[in-house]
């Protein structure tokens, strides 16, 4: 459903993405693994319409995304949780979630979507009236994922969802992501430095190094590959 081909991006003379090709099929969880500076955020930003790549093509269900604006890409069914989260601190949990339901289809389904998000994150349900700026990093990450789901995406893009979270909170978040994946209507493309965790839930993975795809395969195979283990699993 997502077909990325020949994707290039340069910041001035620095080549951040070099001829990247990636596929995400319906119902799949795909992980992109890479060290700091590998180009992971640049790649997701290009898919989400947050930056215009220097070259290449990103097709979603046959529609070319390069050149479209971020909100048009959300309307096509792709929602993104960026590293920066961009939550509205003075607003409550429930109000932040509502902001995610901005397309016409999402607005119509808002109550059902909210129930789904609260079933994934019961903790948020209990705190629905709390203002977001007073909440922990882990809670804010759950709200950011919840807000993306309110758009009723068929593809969810996640930029380092576990970054900076305590291990127990990261585990809770990944459990919710696994449930989203199992529910089957939303495919997931995530970039993660926590390669072990990401490969546990992903079907397939790609290895990104200095802007190039240097490996790809089924998640179990990548997790067992010693070269991958040395470079990405911190062994």
Query: Which spans of this chain sit near ligand ATP (rule: CB under 6 A)?
Result: 11, 14, 16, 34, 36-42
Q: What is the smallest separation between the CB atom of 170 and ligand ATP, expressed in angstroms?
A: 16
Q: Smaller CB distance to ligand ATP: residue 40 or 197?
A: 40
| 18 contacts: CB under 8 Å, gap ≥ 6 | 8, 210, 211, 212
Angle at the Cα of 161 (from 60 to 9), degrees rounded to 5?
50
Q: Which long-range contacts (CB under 8 A, 24 or more apart) does 133-142 make?
A: 133/89, 133/90, 135/93, 136/169, 137/164, 137/165, 137/169, 138/165, 138/166, 138/169, 138/170, 138/172, 138/173, 140/85, 140/87, 141/81, 141/85, 141/165, 141/169, 141/173, 142/172, 142/173, 142/176
Q: What is the smallest separation between the CB atom of 105 and ligand ATP, expressed in angstroms?
A: 31
Q: What is the smallest separation between the CB atom of 40 and ligand ATP, expressed in angstroms?
A: 3
Q: What is the smallest separation between the CB atom of 228 and ligand ATP, expressed in angstroms?
A: 17
Q: Smaller CB distance to ligand ATP: residue 2 or 208?
A: 208
Q: What is the smallest separation between the CB atom of 44 and ligand ATP, expressed in angstroms?
A: 8
Q: Smaller CB distance to ligand ATP: residue 9 or 147?
A: 9
User: What tokens appear for 4 in the block?
Assistant: 């990325």
Q: Smaller CB distance to ligand ATP: residue 38 or 135?
A: 38
Question: Looking at the DSSP assignment, which residues form a beta bridge with residue 116?
Answer: none
Q: What is the DSSP letter of 133?
A: G
Q: Smaller CB distance to ligand ATP: residue 34 or 77?
A: 34
């Amino acid at each position: 459903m997502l077909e990325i081909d020949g994707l290039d991006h340069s910041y001035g003379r620095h080549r951040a993405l070099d001829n990247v090709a990636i596929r995400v099929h319906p119902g799949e969880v795909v992980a992109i693994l890479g060290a700091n500076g590998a180009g992971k955020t640049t790649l997701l930003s290009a898919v989400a319409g947050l930056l215009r790549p220097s070259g290449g093509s990103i097709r979603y269900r046959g529609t070319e995304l390069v050149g479209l604006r971020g909100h048009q890409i959300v309307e096509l069914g792709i929602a993104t949780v960026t590293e920066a989260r961009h939550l509205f601190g003075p607003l409550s949990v429930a109000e932040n979630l509502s902001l995610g339901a901005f397309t016409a289809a999402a607005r119509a389904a808002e109550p059902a979507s909210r129930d789904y998000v609260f079933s994934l994150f019961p903790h948020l349900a209990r705190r629905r009236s709390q203002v977001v700026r007073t909440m922990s990093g882990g809670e804010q990450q759950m709200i950011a994922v919840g807000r993306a789901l309110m758009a009723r995406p068929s593809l969810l893009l996640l930029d380092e969802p576990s970054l900076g979270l305590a291990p127990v909170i990261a585990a809770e978040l990944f459990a919710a992501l696994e449930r989203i994946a199992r529910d089957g209507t939303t495919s997931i493309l995530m970039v993660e430095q926590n390669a072990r965790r990401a490969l546990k839930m992903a079907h397939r993975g790609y290895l990104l190094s200095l802007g190039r795809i240097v490996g790809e395969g089924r998640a179990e195979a990548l997790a067992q590959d010693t070269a991958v283990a040395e470079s990405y699993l911190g062994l």
